[in-house]
Chains A and B, each alone.
Chain A
Amino acid sequence: MNELIFFINKVIISGTIIGCIYALGAVGATLVFGILRFANFAHADMMTVGAFVALVFVSWFPGAGSVVGLPTGFVMLPVAMVFVAIMSVALDRMFYRPLRERNVKPILLLVASIGVMLMIQGLVRLFAGTAPRHFFSAEKKDIFRIELPFELSTRDIVITEPQILLIITTIVCIFCLHRFLTGTRLGKAMRAMSDNPDLALITGINTDRVVSATWMIAGTLAAAGGVLLSLDVILKPDLSFNLLLPIFAAAIVGGVGRPYGAIAGGLLVGFTESLAIFNWSILLRPLAPYIPDWVEIPSKLAFVPTEYKIVVPFVILIVVLIWRPTGIFRGQVL
């Protein structure tokens, strides 16, 4: 029984957590790609910026969360979302729009985004240093232990308050996005422009407005993902680098330009990652009496060692694209 609980903790919960983060990041990346036709390499850094903005506000208003009984970092989430949304639009005006007005090829926008990525990483290090930060240095992280009513179980299912908030927030964000994309004129115009930009233009869709809205949504979701992730783990300036590849893998696996695909892709990549680094020998231990003596169960039996976790998204990418070349949700052709 304990082995099963271990599996739930290490795969189901941690897979959902990291899957939600990847989904929040991948949705933004895929929306930006759908509208502007370039892979925004600075996307993961918008997530780090969101986390650091929240951290700064936590240091300005320590203990503000105790008023409502939530972690202070989580209370600062809306601030970070607004900040990154505005920053995304500002970055577009400064760097990407001038290029678009010159009708450059999308590849140039991609290269520009690498520049923006390096710039943001430099700025974050300049202001926040390189030391790892923690949201819970001043307050206590609530941990919930769910006991299972089985005789054989001595361990509990463990989930922290930030993790619960993360899952709830992700569901709320995705629900709001869905309502926006299918229920509002601007949301429909966004899908239309992603479908067929030339027709959108001659139909009279205000493409400037759609572009700004896209950046704001991408920025908002990126900030949410960044803050929620760093509430769960330690915040380091190089967080974005570990996020960038899984996020794009998730976006491509889901089908480029397909927001729902990005969510599915994010969860798929998150779960697969957790499964791949899970130590399966623990699940084999209860079977030990039935296994002949000459077979020794190794103490560690994972598909990939934890430090090679980053290869998992690529494996998924290759496998899915062989089976369905434009992604699960049949995205745009690159």
Chain B
Amino acid sequence: MNGMDLPLWAAVPAALLLVIGGLLSVIGALGMLRLPDFYTRMHPPTMGTTLGVGSVLIASMLVSSALLHRPVFHELLITLFVVLSTPVTAMLLIRAAVTRERKPPEEQQ
């Protein structure tokens, strides 16, 4: 497999989508660095796991479909599993943070 037999109609949008996906992930990581506290830092990485992953997967579908000359769309399953599983980790993280911040019972009056 080489890049030469990839038709232009697939190559251009796929390249664009990959750049968008990469940018979103980088901005998400940058947000982790720049935002001030744990709760606000929860938000930016979500960009990488939603629209970021989404655009990379669409690019993958385009390129594989063009190269194999048949529709390839099992990448959709990755989206499905990511969407199903991220709430679990997100909730665990934020519950842990909330629990840590809670005062011990003797301090609460």
- The answer to whether A and B assemble together is no
